[in-house]
Chains A and B, each alone.
Chain A
Amino acid sequence: MKRRAVRKSVNVLALGLSALMTAIGLIFLGAILWTLVKDGVAGMSAAVFTQNTPPPGTASGGLLNAIYGSAIMTVLGILIGAPIGILAGTYLAEYGRKSALSSVIRFINDVLLSAPSIIIGLFVYELVVVPMGNFSAISGAIALAIIAMPVIVRTTEDMLNLVPQGMKDASTAMGAYPWRTITSIAYPAARSGMVTGLLLAVARISGETAPLLFTALNNQFWSTSLKAPMANLPVVIFQFALSPYANWQQLAWAGALLITFAILVLSIIARVAVSRLGPGAARK
């Protein structure tokens, strides 16, 4: 009887601890979000969206050039990364499903998926910035594309694998070549899942800071040239948060709130799109 009491109290203690740990984790994460919203909203104003990043020592200023730069480089990154990612994912799911090459590429892709992003920044610096001779928006976009690619490859492969084999067989039986089956049957069937993968990739790269530090760098002024350094939200947040100026720090918080908000919205849309696919589709 005593042994049973001990076991029961161990049970209560352990489960109580795990509930406590959950509470602790959520409290910390809640604290971060609360600070983010409080200081972010305090830093928010119309100027954030209408003025460029201010020079040192001036009072006002906004994030217009940084918002523009982030949007441009994220879009370019996806435009470069998506076709390659989708094609590679198609190879893994369809043409090379069981080949040895595919297992190697799958493994490499998984490693790239979790590789430190600052390494990608160094790589693009060596590959693009050094030959070009200066920091540039296009090198930033390439770095972001390399980070987006593994995410897209992975979701494309997973989603194509969910397309019922019978559908593809039916198309083949009609005499369609594989490319026709893939583009006319498999892609439409897997479309919402693939779009989700793209959204996740956008969410992933729009907050990346480390790979932009020595590719796109930053630009205090409005610039649309892809060959010149370009302002972007993450690097501006980095520099402004570490600055001694109060208005810069406020802008950093406003930028942080903007990025987080955008990413959360994208993630939620992606999640809703996946849940429409049915249970278990998101994770495989």
Chain B
Amino acid sequence: MSSAEAFARHLAGQRLRERIFRASTLAAAILLLLLLGGVVVSLLHGAWPAFDRFRLAFITQDVWNPVTNRYGALSAIYGTVVTSVLAMILALPVSFGIAVFLTELAPPWLKRPVGVAIELLAAIPSIIFGIWGLFVLAPVLQESVEPWIDGHLGKLPLVGALFQGAPYGIGFLTAGIVLAIMIIPFISAVIRDVFDTVPDVLKESGYGLGATTWEVIWKVVVPYSRSGMIGGIMLGLGRALGETMAVTFVIGNAHQISASLLAPGTTISAAIANEFTEATTPLYTSSLIALGVLLFVITFAVIAAARLMLLRLGRRGLASV
């Protein structure tokens, strides 16, 4: 065999490997697409009996009764929305404060340790927050905080109904607080990263005009990083909406809609986690998968919106979160 032939064979081999490697990377990339498609199709397939049976009533009714085999998701949707909104209300000011503290206020020797601590805490699995909520937070709330809330805030006009009721220790309020604690590290890390993208020149020109630190933050940093902040906040909301373990421990798992935040309830993910392996009839299982479809639709909308906002900023958030 001449050396020209050998070289030709070598080239052919290279070309073949190139084709194989290229095709396998493309296949893996397309697999990701198929994965999301597969999630949608398989969930819809599993949920079909429930949707077919109850139609629109599945999302407009709050009956959830395995005995009579009637299922409506309203109470679970309600619980998901209430706990997530509550968590956001509690977590936002704290996260914003932490981000401001870390970017503008903290002395350098404190900045790194606190920043690293916050990021590491974002990696702690949610089940840890759940058991802490059950064993530590719930008793405290039940014995001291909730009776006080009932006695004082419960008498307020208009909003009083939110704060009335027996202190169970578990319920919407507890779940909201646990969720808030869980997403604080996450949201503060994202907001801090977004704040860090603000060019120093912009801030310096604010200071040059005689603005105070707070005025620079509120009138220069925040407007500049608005879309990134909203993106980060919505990613946090997406987490709160879909969070299972932190909530399941402390929500009380009662399919009911109560005006009071102190009452037990349930969320979509908590209902699935609690009842799925115990579902005895096909319709029961299907209804739980249908709950999953609803959760998917809600979180997909929130996450997609958040990602689009972060994309516009040219940043895609932390790889780890």
Nearest chain A CB to B126's CB is how many angstroms away? 7
Interface centre among A10, A125, A178, A197 (most CB of B within 10 A): A125
User: What B residues does A86 contact at CB under 8 A?
Assistant: 28
Contact of B125 among A96, A180, A234 (CB under 8 A): A234
User: Looking at the complex, which of B70-78, B112-120, B147-155, B198-206 is the stretch in contact with chain A?
Assistant: B112-120
Tell me if B120 and A264 are in contact (CB < 8 A). yes
User: Looking at the complex, which of B58-66, B257-265, B300-308 is the stretch in contact with chain A?
Assistant: B300-308
Nearest chain B CB to A184's CB is how many angstroms away? 12
A70-104 contact mask (Cβ, 8 Å, vs B): 1 or 0: 00000000000001111110111011100001101
Known contacts A32-B128, A122-B289, A197-B319; is A177 also within 8 Å of B26 by CB?
A: no
Tell me if B33 and A108 are in contact (CB < 8 A). yes
Give the residue name and chain of the B residue nearest to A7 (CB).
Answer: B212
Nearest chain A CB to B244's CB is how many angstroms away? 4
Please tell me if A25 contacts chain B, counting CB pairs below 8 Å: yes
By secondary structure, the A interface counts as: helix
| Complex Cα gap A264–B121 (Å) | 8
Interface members, chain A 242-270 (any B CB < 8 Å): 242, 249, 252-253, 256, 259-260, 263-264, 267-268, 270
Tell me if B101 and A35 are in contact (CB < 8 A). no
User: What A residues does B292 contact at CB under 8 A?
Assistant: 118-119, 122
Known contacts A19-B97, A22-B114, A234-B127; is A32 also within 8 Å of B105 by CB?
A: no
Tally the A-B contacts, defined by beta carbons under 8 Å: 288
User: What B residues does A252 contact at CB under 8 A?
Assistant: 131
Please tell me if B175 contacts chain A, counting CB pairs below 8 Å: no
| Complex Cα gap A88–B34 (Å) | 13
Please tell me if B235 contacts chain A, counting CB pairs below 8 Å: yes
Tell me if A84 and B249 are in contact (CB < 8 A). no
Nearest chain B CB to A73's CB is how many angstroms away? 14
| Complex Cα gap A92–B243 (Å) | 29
User: What A residues does B31 contact at CB under 8 A?
Assistant: 84, 88
Tell me if A18 and B276 are in contact (CB < 8 A). no
Tell me if B22 and A35 are in contact (CB < 8 A). no
User: Looking at the complex, which of A60-68, A147-155, A163-171 is the stretch in contact with chain B?
Assistant: A147-155
Tell me if B242 and A116 are in contact (CB < 8 A). yes
Nearest chain B CB to A228's CB is how many angstroms away? 15
| Complex Cα gap A102–B126 (Å) | 32
Tell me if A111 and B98 are in contact (CB < 8 A). no
Contact of B29 among A102, A107, A241 (CB under 8 A): A102
CB-based closest 8 A-B pairs: A207-B125, A116-B242, A21-B97, A87-B28, A179-B21, A11-B212, A91-B25, A18-B97
6 new A-B contacts, CB < 8 A, other than A19-B105, A32-B124, A154-B316, are A22-B102, A118-B273, A119-B39, A207-B128, A234-B245, A267-B119
In the assembled complex, 20 residue pairs joining A and B whose CB atoms fall closer than 8 Å, in A order, are A11-B212, A25-B94, A28-B184, A87-B25, A108-B32, A110-B316, A111-B307, A116-B241, A119-B43, A122-B43, A123-B42, A149-B32, A150-B32, A200-B319, A200-B320, A208-B125, A209-B126, A217-B277, A238-B245, A241-B249
Interface residues of chain B, those whose CB is within 8 Å of chain A, are 14-15, 17-18, 20-22, 24-33, 35-36, 38-39, 42-43, 45-46, 93-98, 100-102, 104-105, 114, 116-121, 123-132, 134-136, 181, 184-185, 188, 193, 212-215, 217-218, 235, 238-239, 241-245, 248-249, 269, 272-273, 276-277, 289, 292, 295-296, 299-300, 303-304, 306-307, 311, 316-321
